[in-house]
Amino acid sequence: MASLAAFLLLMSPLALVRAHDNGMDMSMDGAMSLTAGNMLTYFHFTPGDNLWFLGWVPSSTSAMVGACIGLFLLGVLDRWIAACRVVMEMHWAKSAMILRSNRLNARGLPVSGTEKLSSTSSLYVANSTSEQFVGALTMRTVPPFIFWHDLTRGIMYLGHSALQFAFMLAIMTFQLGFIFALVVGLGVGEMLFGRYASHAAHLV
């Protein structure tokens, strides 16, 4: 008898929960309906998708045009940041080479007499012997840690990665307007700034 009473006591909360669910009392805040997007899981042009934040729902034609222009500019910005990273890597590599060469000179290690080193401007190589020396020096040693160089490198990589994750989330809305704006922006940005990366590849 005691076990039957305990069983009924345990089952009574479940009965109350089922009774509450069957009552169809599903109240929602009115503000949610104003900011909820479509969340369609197929390619579409229908406006009304959430873009990154709650409340960022371009539902009108003008809002969609503005969002697509913003995504286009972000695509161009992405390629500009990539070009800046390439140019800065070239500058940092030259600075690190000069620093290593100056350290070798300070230690009294033999350096080719035709090799002219400058700690303030750039590294000049006079003949093939010095070019081989600089190539071996670059390949066999790790560039030194220079705080401001590596801090800037980390910050730029952080920003670039965050931008690419934002692009991924925008594409996951399946909104073709967003996707086309991003793709065109990336293409235009590569057209404007891609030559810096190709130039750096030829110099390596």
Q: How many CB atoms lie within 10 A of CB 99?
A: 14
Write down the domain spans for the chain: 84-100+147-203
Q: What angle do CA 105, 108, 114 make, to 5 degrees?
A: 55
Confidence of residue 66 (pLDDT cuts 50, 70, 90): very high
Indicate if the pLDDT at residue 47 is higher than 80. Answer: yes
Model pLDDT for residues 23-38, shown as the tens digit of each residue: 444 444 444 444 566 6
Give pLDDT, residue 177. 95
| Those residues with Cβ within 8 angstroms of residue 59's Cβ, 6 or more apart along the chain or in another chain | 47, 48
Model pLDDT for residues 94-143, shown as the tens digit of each residue: 887 887 777 777 776 555 443 444 444 444 444 445 555 555 555 456 77
- Average pLDDT across the chain, whole number: 74
Rg (CA), the chain: 30
Q: How many CB atoms lie within 10 A of CB 165?
A: 10
Bridge partners (DSSP) of residue 44 are 175
Give pLDDT, residue 110. 52
Indicate if the pLDDT at residue 77 is higher than 90. Answer: yes
Of 41, 67, 91, the residue nearest 185 (C-alpha):
67
Provide mean pLDDT across the span 52-70.
92
Give pLDDT, residue 199. 67
Bridge partners (DSSP) of residue 175 are 44
Confidence of residue 176 (pLDDT cuts 50, 70, 90): very high
Of 52, 1, 17, the residue nearest 166 (C-alpha):
52
Model pLDDT for residues 138-154, shown as the tens digit of each residue: 545 677 788 888 999 99
Percentage of the residues of the chain whose pLDDT score is greater than 90: 36
Least confident of 36-40, 63-67, 177-181: 36-40
Residue 172 token pair? 């996951």
How far is it, in rounded angstroms, from Cα 69 to Cα 31? Answer: 28
